[in-house]
A and B are shown apart, each in its own frame.
Chain A
Amino acid sequence: MSGGIVRLTLRTTRANLTRSLLSSLAVVLGVAFVCGSLMFTDGLAKAMTGQAADRYRNVDVEVTTAASREDNRLADRVRRVDGVRAAEATWSLPFMGLATADGRKIRGSHRAVNVSSDPALRPYDAGRGRMPSAAGEVVLDERTVERERLRIGDRLLISNIDGKARTYTLVGVTPTAARAVGEAGALIVMTTADIAAAAGYPSTTVIVDAAAGVTDAELATRIAAATGAQALPHDELVRQAVTAAVGDAATFRNALLGFGVLAVGMAAFVIANTFTIVLAQRTRETALLRLIGATRRQVFRSVVLEAALIGLGGSALGLVVGVLLAYGLPVALSAVIAPGDAGPVISARTVLVALAVGVGVTVLSALLPARRGTRVPPVVALSDAAVQVARPTGRARRVGGVAVTAAGLAGLAAATAAHTTVLTIAGTLVTVIGFLLLSPIVVPSLVRLVRRPLATVGGATVSLALLNAVRNPRRFATTTNALMVGVTLVGTFTLLAYSAAAPAQRRADQKMVATFLVSADLTLPSSLLDALAERPELGTARPTYELFDRDTDLEVRTGSQRAGTAVVSADAGSAPGGRITIGGRTFAVASVAAGTRTIWLNPTDIRAVFDDPSLTDVQVDPAAGVAKKEARAALDAALAAYPAAVAYDRDEYAEHLNAQLNQGLDMVTALLALAVVIALIGVANTLTLSVVERTRENALLRAVGLTRRRLRLILATEAVIMALTGTLIGVVASVAIALSALGSIETHGEPISLAMPWNRLGVLLAVAVLAALAASIAPARRAIRLPMAEILATDG
């Protein structure tokens, strides 16, 4: 490329700086997300590998054995091995219950570990206070202590899985987090004696401090030989932990990058559209260049160079925004990861990715518009035409589009009948392609359809705005298509998640047969029933058991029928009127219910047949004549000794179910929303650029008597109609896809019906409209400030 063309390109890009910035905005967001994710996950990996190494501080060898050997006294046997200076049995207990002594329950997935009294065998240290040495002393992690505003000396109620709570005193705080991704809870450090008592089973892991003069590896081999258990030396332990940590971080990164790819894809779409418009407006300039002797190839290369420059700018800006995003991601994802010291890490790789994505996407997206836009005959420079007339949609495209859309819709419908989700996915893709083919005809027609009715309400302003919006059907369709795709993604996901989870209220109503429900993260201790029975304010407790009987290969659930009878699923092998044997007792089969390999028994029977069945929840009503408030107070008092158990009434339970759903939903929606934001940028681009074409017309309108306010209204209406069209079509598409998907899932029992989250859809619509209005502010301001005289003037 000659220096002259390069200089011209640079000048053109600089002269049209606003337009170039508009084009690059989409890239900036795409690059920002990809880089932000990389920086964030790199930081996460770094923090997690650091933690992994930390965990095995002071541990020379770790010995593990299978759990089934009773009373194996592994620690004793290890100590007898030559070269072992000291050994300690360790436990790691999940699902601990934690509460303050005054009854405030601390929610989370808590884990208890022990430390040796021997400091040389301790992986953790106390930052404040000291490590536990006597019975009844614990240390908690720093984050929990700060969040719950605990102080050294506070008394805590801690319970094991079996639910029995004991009182402990907080004697220290440790800075170690030592939790994996997805575990947000406290780390409880106890003495070995306390944890052994809490666990109730022998330890299966022993940590070893080697004596002087023997290497870790050598000692590990000796121990393995002597005890028959698996023994790993320090370096191997760290290596395995680091590999696991890196793997976890990598999974996370890939998930985030999946969304990044989506954002970048959307950006590519928007850039292609923007370039098409910009080049259409530069037709006469391009023709002039060709007229005075530039070849097609030169002009094409000039446009590609411009795209590369814009992409470069986008990459640089995207990196900066990406850093901001990397700080913001942990906050947004706090449901899944505990934001630790995972500060973002900027590596050379990330910078290269930013460049590659930014420049690459912009250039690739601009190629096709560049090819079309530079195919201008030089004579156009001499003509008086304002802008090229839009190409009409060819017959082949129309016919093809109808055929493809029909096929796609058929696929979606067939998915419900044939119960294959693959058909839904295939049908969705095909329908979308078909729709995109037909969009230049269908979408503007929809707008024209509503023009008359809307004009009666909104007047000439609205009518003119709608006409202006669709005067270039292809441009309008392309802009709204991007938004439609983004909205379909968000909408389909929201509808499916919402419907599958089913309104929490309905589920709460279905589940709760009493006024109060008590549950924990895992199971409740059976002693809880006795505690409730002791309260005169509470009526008879109704327990729900869930267990699996290996002998009969049946799930056992609680049913409400008479004692001595059973309800079975169809495949349990017995019919009503017959008998079924389980756990050594025989029951009369009363009826059959929907399910797979399940038997429902009366709770008394369950307790009689099985020892210590898993209690998943307990429901209880107030006793006769007792007010709800009194009963609740009694319930809370009874539960004070069970830190892991939580009581709900119907509304609280519905809220609880909703909270989990909403958290997950919000997170994924936020990530998908990025695609929608980029599409809305596309709307802003199209409007801004289209207004430039209409400079003369707008001046004419003002001359003929259109007030500034009305002109602003026209532009605002154009923006809103673009946003609304894309959004509404997207919502309709989401409903169709969700219906097909839900119908295609094979369910045991009743099919999942579509639940419409109206409030979320309302938010989506409101966001689209507000974004459109915001997008119209700048173009409107420029249009209003038009110097009419200059524009309308002909000569001197």
Chain B
Amino acid sequence: MPALQAIGLSKVYGSGETAVSALDRVDIEFAAGSFHAVMGASGSGKSTLMHCLAGLDRPTSGTVRIFDADLTTLNDEKLTLLRRDHVGFVFQKFNLLPVLTARENILLPLTIAGRRPDKPWFDQVVAAVGLTDRLGHRPSELSGGQQQRVAVARALITRPWVVFADEPTGNLDSRSGAEVLGLLRDAVAGLGQTVVMVTHDLHAAAHCDRVVFLKDGRYAAALESPAPDEIAATLERAR
């Protein structure tokens, strides 16, 4: 069973003459236990696709499934709980709550759910992202790279079905960016996670098992474990 499935997915903004079709009948699958990337030019609909797949936005038509959960049949409450317990998020920036420490930010989904953290798992995740000695710091006391690592730890703490990452390295220098990508890679290889990353960075996408390309809101192409120059070529074609 694929981890993620979009069937006939469409998203239209506005109506009538001013209607804008961000996604146009997209059919796509993401296999479990792999590191996926979604790429495309500005306005290709890659972020919109991720938002619909993650349950952050409702498609105008079509179906979205995370494993066997049909998101389109869930009301807002159930969607929220699904996100809380089974989905992890990493954004480009402003991932963390400034009033909470790193530890509290990592545990946020669990705290909201009222569940106690599993200490060995917590320690493992924290060690994996390399933040063991920064847990008591506030986001304002952490560097950009450290903040992203906290975000990754938070995304993993609930052992989610899928982790979505929206331009996770967009705000980082190349070294921090490489670290974060390495963490995501490790999550897939070591923990069996499914990670879907939206990015425009060729070198980030080169870390992935599979890269999907969108153009004008439609599926354009897919590559398996591509090298950066292959990605660049396909991107050119998909313009």
* Nearest chain B residue, comparing its CB with the CB of A707: B80
B97 touches A792 (CB 8 A): no
- Chain B residues lying within 8 Å of A296, measured Cβ to Cβ, are none
- Chain A residues lying within 8 Å of B100, measured Cβ to Cβ, are 464, 467
**Do most interface residues of chain A lie in helix, strand or loop, or is the interface mixed?**
helix
- Chain A residues lying within 8 Å of B99, measured Cβ to Cβ, are 464, 467-468, 471
* Residue B21 at the chain A interface, CB threshold 8 Å: no
Residue in B46, B76, B97 with the greatest tally of chain A CB atoms within 10 Å: B97
CA of A467 to CA of B99, assembled, Å = 6
B77 contact from A696, A701, A707, Cβ within 8 A: A707
Instruction: Choose, from B63-71, B83-91, B120-128, the stretch at the interface.
Output: B83-91
Smallest CB separation, B239 vs chain A (Å) = 13
* Residue A660 at the chain B interface, CB threshold 8 Å: no
A796 touches B112 (CB 8 A): no
- Chain A 369-384 residues near chain B, CB threshold 8 A: 384
Smallest CB separation, B84 vs chain A (Å) = 2
A793 touches B114 (CB 8 A): no
- Chain A residues lying within 8 Å of B85, measured Cβ to Cβ, are 705
CA of A133 to CA of B187, assembled, Å = 109
A704 touches B89 (CB 8 A): yes
* Nearest chain B residue, comparing its CB with the CB of A469: B99
- Chain A residues lying within 8 Å of B47, measured Cβ to Cβ, are 789, 793-796
* Residue B194 at the chain A interface, CB threshold 8 Å: no
B114 touches A460 (CB 8 A): yes
* Residue B98 at the chain A interface, CB threshold 8 Å: yes
B84 contact from A467, A704, A787, A789, Cβ within 8 A: A704
* Residue A700 at the chain B interface, CB threshold 8 Å: yes
B77 touches A700 (CB 8 A): no
B42 contact from A384, A705, A795, Cβ within 8 A: A795
A705 touches B80 (CB 8 A): yes
Residue in A471, A697, A706, A794 with the greatest tally of chain B CB atoms within 10 Å: A794
* Nearest chain A residue, comparing its CB with the CB of B167: A794
Also in contact, A708 and B76, with CB within 8 A (given A468-B99, A789-B51, A789-B56): yes
A704 contact from B45, B46, B112, B167, Cβ within 8 A: B112
Also in contact, A795 and B83, with CB within 8 A (given A703-B89, A788-B57, A789-B56): no
* Nearest chain A residue, comparing its CB with the CB of B54: A703
* Residue A459 at the chain B interface, CB threshold 8 Å: yes
A703 touches B83 (CB 8 A): yes
* Residue A702 at the chain B interface, CB threshold 8 Å: yes
Smallest CB separation, B178 vs chain A (Å) = 20
A702 contact from B80, B108, B166, B200, Cβ within 8 A: B80
Also in contact, A705 and B166, with CB within 8 A (given A700-B94, A789-B57): no
Smallest CB separation, B222 vs chain A (Å) = 20
Other than A384-B93, A700-B95, A792-B166, give 16 A-B pairs with Cβ distance below 8 A: A460-B114, A464-B99, A467-B99, A697-B94, A700-B91, A704-B83, A704-B84, A704-B89, A704-B109, A706-B84, A707-B77, A788-B56, A792-B56, A794-B91, A794-B166, A796-B48
13 A-B interface contacts by CB (under 8 A): A464-B97, A467-B99, A471-B99, A702-B80, A705-B80, A707-B77, A787-B57, A789-B57, A793-B51, A794-B166, A795-B47, A796-B41, A796-B47
